[in-house]
Amino acid sequence: MPVTPSPYHRLNPLTKAVIATVGSIGAFVLGGYVGPIAIMVIMLLLAWRAGVLARLARVSLLLTLPIAISVVLVSVFTRAGTTVLFQIGPFDATAEGVDFALQTLVRLFAISLSIGLFIMTTEPRAFVFDLERRGVPPRAAFIAVATIEAVPTLVERATMISESQRARGLDTEGSFLTRVRGLLPIVGPVIIGSLTDVEERSLALESRAFSRPGRRHLLWAMPDEGWERVLRWVLFVLLVGAAVARLTGRI
């Protein structure tokens, strides 16, 4: 059973997935400022309770910033509007553009906080095994976990190869072009090495009856309390309600 340092970590993975999904889609559906900002506040409060507030805020900012900058530039200077705030060359910065950019930004942050909170408080295997318990085929569950868990291994391998190449004189520092050139000799070994690993891993798994058809009896399952099931349904109904209200123009 994965380590669960806070009550939020201890929630059933599906409950946390529903919270993340409703937070993400809800921010989009609600639009404006109030809805997405309320979602942001809720996610930050939950993150604080889970003890991951600082990390979530940092990661969310880092991940969202590049997109946010593009969104702000494109929206502020290309969106048509009647109130021109200032001009840069042929481009007009309009109040409508600023408003649209800000609305998009709060949505983006709400989405990244929702997804980030789920990722930081849920072990992939806990989520996938929970899905398997609910009837998802073990093979699909395995592929999902293996894909997520392969990321740190890939990063480790890339770092090792990069350091080895650097020790042999490859220049990976400096200008953007130098860095791109430095990446090329690393990409090949990383991909080929990973493919070789996958082949050996698949053979090793075959030796452990991976291809046997039928259900498995799992060693553990994350608890799923009755109130969590109710909460999931309530969140789902709220999301559907918000979508209907949005489509019918009530919000």
Partner 1 sequence: MLVLSGVSYRYAGYARPVLHDIDLRLADGEIVGVVGANESGKSTLCLVASGLAPGSIGGALTGGGLSIDGEAMADKPLHEFSTRVGIGFQNPATQLSGVTGSVFEEVALGPMNLGLTQPETVERTKAALATLGIDELWDREPRRLSGGQGQLVVIASLLAMRPPHLVLDEPTAQLDPEGTRLVGEALRKLAASGTAMLIAEHKTDLLDDLCHRVIALDDGRIAFDGPAGTVLEDERLVALGVDLPSRVRVASALVSRGLDPAAVLA
Q: Which residues bind partner 1 (CB under 8 A)?
A: 2, 123, 125, 128, 138, 142, 145-146, 149-150, 152-153, 196-197, 199-219
Task: Give whichever of 175 and 211 is closer to partner 1, judged by the CB atom.
Answer: 211
Buried b (16+ CB within 10 A) or exposed e, 219-249: eeebebeeebeebbeebeeebeebeeeeeee
Task: Give whichever of 58 and 201 is closer to partner 1, judged by the CB atom.
Answer: 201
The pair of three-digit structure tokens given for residue 186, joined into one six-digit string = 């690393």
Please, what is the minimum distance in Å from the beta carbon of residue 45 to partner 1?
28
Runs of H (alpha helix) within 51-175: 53-78, 95-121, 124-133, 138-167
Task: Give whichever of 87 and 202 is closer to partner 1, judged by the CB atom.
Answer: 202
Q: Among residues 168, 191, 171, 192, which one has the least CA distance to residue 180?
A: 171
Please, what is the minimum distance in Å from the beta carbon of residue 126 to partner 1?
9
Please, what is the minimum distance in Å from the beta carbon of residue 47 to partner 1?
23
Task: Give whichever of 60 and 122 is closer to partner 1, judged by the CB atom.
Answer: 122
Please, what is the minimum distance in Å from the beta carbon of residue 152 to partner 1?
8
Task: Give whichever of 125 and 232 is closer to partner 1, judged by the CB atom.
Answer: 125
Q: How many CA atoms lie within 13 A of 240 on its CB side?
A: 6
Residue 52 CB: number of other CB atoms within 10 A? 21
Strand partners, 94: 84
Task: Give whichever of 217 and 250 is closer to partner 1, judged by the CB atom.
Answer: 217
Q: How many residues does the chain have?
A: 251
Please, what is the minimum distance in Å from the beta carbon of residue 106 to partner 1?
36
Task: Give whichever of 68 and 150 is closer to partner 1, judged by the CB atom.
Answer: 150
Strand partners, 93: 86
Please, what is the minimum distance in Å from the beta carbon of residue 191 to partner 1?
15
Sign of the CA dihedral running 154, 156, 159, 161: negative
Residue 8 to residues 3, 18, 233, Cα–Cα distance (Å): 12, 13, 18
Please, what is the minimum distance in Å from the beta carbon of residue 224 to partner 1?
17
